[in-house]
Amino acid sequence: MFSISSRLTYAALWLRKQHAGQDWLNSVSAAAFLVFVVASFFIPGHALPVGAIVLMAILALFSGAGAAAFTHSAWLVLFGVFFSAWVALGGLIGGPGYNISDFFNLVLLGAFFLSVAQVSRALSTRQILSVIAIAGGASACAALLLHIVSADDLFDRLFPLGRGRNPIPGAGGFAVALIAFAALWLDRPPVRRVASLHLFLIVTLLLGLAWTQSRAPIIALALALPLALWLSRRGGTAAVLLACGGIWIAITGLGMLEPMIKAIICDSDADWCRPSFRSEIWGWVREQIVLHPMLGTGPSFRFQKTWMSHPHNGLFGTAMYYGLMALLAFWAMIGFYARQLTRQEDRSLRFFGLASILFSFGYMGTDLSNPFAFFNMHYLFLWLPLFLVLTPSQATTRREGGVPLPGTGELRQI
């Protein structure tokens, strides 16, 4: 296991070596991606990760990665154009919750697509997964230590660090790190001297995920991993879509059946048995969809409740915020992605993409009301895997190419 000082030394030597080389675009892109992931897991604000996204997007325009990505995924561009036009129309004649920030959210999402296209040229799949896995594991370690030292009650819910500073999005961050570890081990287990570090971080992530006491993300991950393993071997496009819908129905159904389940297994409202009020919230959502079926309420609409303000369901939320046509367009986009995913030759990327999209739909069963919202941890577990699968680089390039990361000899064995 490497100390923090040795890791920083490797990072400094790596940056110096890469800046002295010829491919400075890839070097800066790799460094920006490292900043993006580390900041996402450790820093509460959004300035640093968003700045990294913007930098990587600009580099993609200079390198040609952006143009190649748009050409390769013309249907995704078509969806982006449609969705932007739909939001613009909603802003003109739609519900009360549209404002200019809705367009900035879509622009940032487009910039993130460019960023991922550039990163896929700079780093291999294994390096990308390693960065996410190790950063997530280190963040879990730090959050657990801080909780143990500062919490009034040790059994209170864990509040992770970074953008996921709330237990629910924080659980999403821990989950994507665990998915990355699973994809790494599925592709090639690490050598013995690194396996102990992996196992330590995996156990820490599992402990941190359990300590957040975020029930839906935990169940979603437990369902997504075995389903992704099965689908990566024999699943087609229809099977992937059915699995996405099935896991969403399962988590949403548990939310609807919550009162009955609690009546059987709980004798108080503490911790794991705390009320979620999902059924009541979804009743309000249904009323708003009936009032604004086509263009929606707008994504800035909030329920006037001090204890709960948004739909707490990704598909219900998309229908309520943007209208039923937008929900159909979102499903069409996922269908195209599923088709591309099942054709992916990179085994680790295929599993990472499958497990992430399945987890995302489970997560949207009771959370993540707006998948198109401003940058949060869903960029890591929903949009990054999706965009990474859709970038035009060849699988062999992703697997074997890329800029060496700090401690090249060690990380290539991770």
Contact 137, 202 (CB under 8 A): yes
Say which residues have a Cβ less than 8 Å from residue 180's Cβ, sequence separation at least 6.
129, 130, 132, 133, 136, 352
Contact 165, 45 (CB under 8 A): no
Query: What distance in Å separates the CA atoms of residue 404 and residue 1, rounded to the nearest whole number?
Result: 19
Tell the residue number behind the tokens 């700045």, with chain if given.
51
Q: What does the mean pLDDT of the chain come to?
A: 85
Q: What is the pLDDT of residues 37-86, one digit of tens each?
A: 999 999 988 899 999 999 999 999 988 888 888 888 888 888 989 999 99
400 pLDDT higher than 50? no
118 pLDDT higher than 60? yes
The region of weakest confidence among 117-126, 232-241, 267-276 is: 267-276
Say which residues have a Cβ less than 8 Å from residue 190's Cβ, sequence separation at least 6.
184, 198, 413, 414
Per-residue pLDDT averaged across 293-305, rounded?
Answer: 85
Per-residue pLDDT averaged across 333-355, rounded?
Answer: 91
Enter the pTM of the model.
0.87
User: What percent of the chain has pLDDT above 70?
Assistant: 86
Q: How far is CA 397 from CA 121, 145, 393, in A?
A: 8, 39, 7
The region of weakest confidence among 13-22, 128-137, 176-185 is: 13-22
CA 304, distance to chain mean position in Å, is 28
- The amino acid occupying position 79 is F
Query: What distance in Å separates the CA atoms of residue 402 and residue 122, rounded to the nearest whole number?
Result: 5
User: What percent of the chain has pLDDT above 90?
Assistant: 50
15 pLDDT higher than 80? no
DSSP annotation string for 297-356: S-TT---S-SS--S---HHHHHHHHH-HHHHHHHHHHHHHHHHHHHT---HHHHHHHHHH
8: part of which helix (H) or strand (E)?
A: helix 4-20
**Which pLDDT band, with edges at 50, 70 and 90, does 17 fall under?**
low
The region of weakest confidence among 97-106, 144-153, 272-281, 286-295 is: 272-281
| pLDDT of res. 280 | 82
Say which residues have a Cβ less than 8 Å from residue 3's Cβ, sequence separation at least 6.
none
Contact 40, 173 (CB under 8 A): yes
Say which residues have a Cβ less than 8 Å from residue 47's Cβ, sequence separation at least 6.
none
